[in-house]
Amino acid sequence: EPEVTQTPSHQVTQMGQEVILRCVPISNHLYFYWYRQILGQKVEFLVSFYNNEISEKSEIFDDQFSVERPDGSNFTLKIRSTKLEDSAMYFCASSEDGGGSGYEQYFGPGTRLTVT
């Protein structure tokens, strides 16, 4: 069964450093997402991406964050200058069509980001 993959599984970085989290969505999917989950808290939407541009972003997704689809398979989340409060599990997800259409989103296994 096709699945979303993410690398690395765990990333440790120092405050102020840049990190890039990588995802390979399911190949025939058109919509891509990033969510995050701070330990013990709920899963929070960060950004959705369709047709090579951001379709929606949350208040969390400020200027420190950016997303890119550099080629036909990868989807990346960059955090320019990490803060302690960015420590969380970051999930990539993809879907065949938009969430508003009722298409399920398939989640990757996550990257645990620890900022020290």
Stretch that binds another protein, among 10-18, 19-27, 51-59, 63-71 (CB under 8 A): 51-59
E strands present in 38-97: 44-50, 53-57, 65-68, 75-79, 88-95
Among positions 14, 27, 28, 41, the unique one binding another protein when judged by CB under 8 A: 41
Binding of residue 9 to another protein (CB under 8 A): no
Whole-number Å distance between alpha carbons of 42 and 73: 28
Among positions 14, 42, 70, 72, the unique one binding another protein when judged by CB under 8 A: 42
Among positions 5, 24, 56, 66, the unique one binding another protein when judged by CB under 8 A: 56
Whole-number Å distance between alpha carbons of 9 and 45: 19
Binding of residue 50 to another protein (CB under 8 A): yes
Whole-number Å distance between alpha carbons of 44 and 14: 23
